[in-house]
């Protein structure tokens, strides 16, 4: 067991990445939206096990290269192992992004589910921008938790009884106030990119809507169910008093904490492989052109 928490999350990462985008949508972004028709040098900040490299390299023009940066030793090792089996030029840097300043050497700086873990995302974005050449691109795939939570539907359950949106929205805002990390960073990135001088800024939303269907092929259903569980859906909330305390420390009133606890408990009791569930993760994909 590594001391670095993300090194122990490889299974969670590999199980859940498939929930967000269909491959045809990523191809569409590369070809029609970003119009990448020549080989590019891409750097992925907080690359984890190399998810974006694995997905994008086969879709990018031949000759494109991928550099992955991450703090996790086990993650970088895993990324090296996976990408070594494929015929693409890759490089990996194990480093804390807060300690790192890459030279201006890349056409595209990209990140996925990374800025939400940064206490100071502006500083990180500045680094990403500095590592990109004039007219290069910065592309950020980041979550927007409030939209994410609004995008579940459990057949047979009243949505507000299992996902109290107002309480969750408050919880995310309080967490951000207390720790600086913003689970809704995805919807903020366009403004940050503009404030940092990028041009032609646009924002898209992830396309995938997952549908858990008990009448579908069992193996497919099981894989999706496991991914949804790994995403955190239907986890039992744990000890009641401890959970209530934690929720109140995070800024909820006693009533709100009780309501949130009950919602989590109800969902954990009701959600099973036989549920009909529709879920759209609602990642925001923001991008802009670097002008130096």
Q: How many residues bind ligand SAM (CB under 6 A)?
A: 18
Q: CB neighbours (10 Å) of residue 76?
A: 22
Q: How far is the CB of 47 from ligand SAM (least distance, A)?
A: 6
Using CB under 6 A as the binding rule, the residues of this chain from 2 to 61 that contact ligand SAM are: 6, 13, 17, 46-48, 51
Q: How far is the CB of 12 from ligand SAM (least distance, A)?
A: 9
- Of positions 41, 64, 71, 271, contacts ligand SAM by CB under 6 A: 71
* Cα dihedral 117, 118, 122, 125 in deg (nearest 10): -70
Q: Cα–chain-centroid distance for residue 257?
A: 26
Q: How far is the CB of 71 from ligand SAM (least distance, A)?
A: 4
Give all strands of the β-sheet with 277-279 in edge-to-edge order.
Answer: 152-154, 277-279, 210-212
Give all strands of the β-sheet with 41-45 in edge-to-edge order.
Answer: 90-94, 65-70, 41-45, 106-112, 132-142, 284-289, 199-205
Q: What whole-number distance in Å separates Cα of residue 68 and Cα of residue 79?
A: 8
With respect to ligand SAM, which residue has the nearer C-beta, 47 or 162? 47
The 8-class DSSP code of residue 40 comes to: -
Contact region with ligand SAM (CB under 6 A), list: 31-39, 70-78, 128-136, 175-183: 70-78
Q: Is 137 an interacting residue with respect to ligand SAM (CB under 6 A)?
A: no
Q: List the Cα angle 24/26/30 in 5-degree steps.
A: 115
With respect to ligand SAM, which residue has the nearer C-beta, 46 or 190? 46
Using CB under 6 A as the binding rule, the residues of this chain from 92 to 121 that contact ligand SAM are: 96-98, 112-114, 117
Using CB under 6 A, list all residues that contact ligand SAM: 6, 13, 17, 46-48, 51, 70-72, 75, 96-98, 112-114, 117
């Amino acid at each position: 067991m590594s001391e670095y928490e993300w090194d122990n999350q490889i299974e969670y990462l590999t199980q859940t990445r498939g929930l967000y985008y269909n491959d045809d949508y990523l191809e569409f972004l590369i070809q029609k939206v970003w119009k990448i028709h020549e080989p590019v040098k891409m750097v992925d900040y907080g690359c984890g096990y190399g998810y974006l490299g694995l997905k994008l390299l086969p879709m990018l023009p031949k000759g494109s290269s991928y550099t992955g940066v991450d703090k996790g030793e086990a993650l970088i090792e895993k990324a090296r192992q996976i990408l070594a089996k494929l015929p693409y030029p890759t490089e990996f840097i194990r480093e804390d992004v807060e300690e790192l300043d890459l030279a201006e050497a890349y056409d595209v700086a990209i990140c996925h589910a990374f800025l939400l873990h940064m206490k100071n995302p502006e500083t990180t974005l500045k680094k990403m921008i500095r590592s990109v050449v004039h007219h290069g691109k910065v592309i950020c795939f980041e979550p927007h938790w409030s939209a994410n939570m609004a995008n579940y539907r459990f057949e047979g359950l009243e949505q507000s009884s299992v996902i109290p949106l107002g309480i969750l929205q408050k919880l995310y805002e309080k967490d951000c106030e207390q720790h600086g990390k913003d689970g809704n960073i995805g919807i903020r990135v366009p403004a940050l990119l503009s404030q940092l001088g990028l041009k032609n800024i646009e924002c898209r939303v992830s396309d995938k809507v997952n549908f858990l269907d008990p009448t579908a092929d069992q193996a497919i259903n099981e894989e999706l169910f496991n991914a949804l569980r790994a995403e955190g859906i239907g986890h039992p909330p744990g000890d009641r008093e401890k959970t209530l305390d934690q929720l109140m420390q995070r800024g909820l009133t006693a009533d709100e904490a009780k309501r949130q606890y009950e919602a989590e408990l109800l969902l954990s009791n009701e959600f099973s492989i036989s549920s009909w569930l529709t879920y759209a993760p609602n990642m925001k994909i923001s991008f802009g052109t670097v002008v130096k």
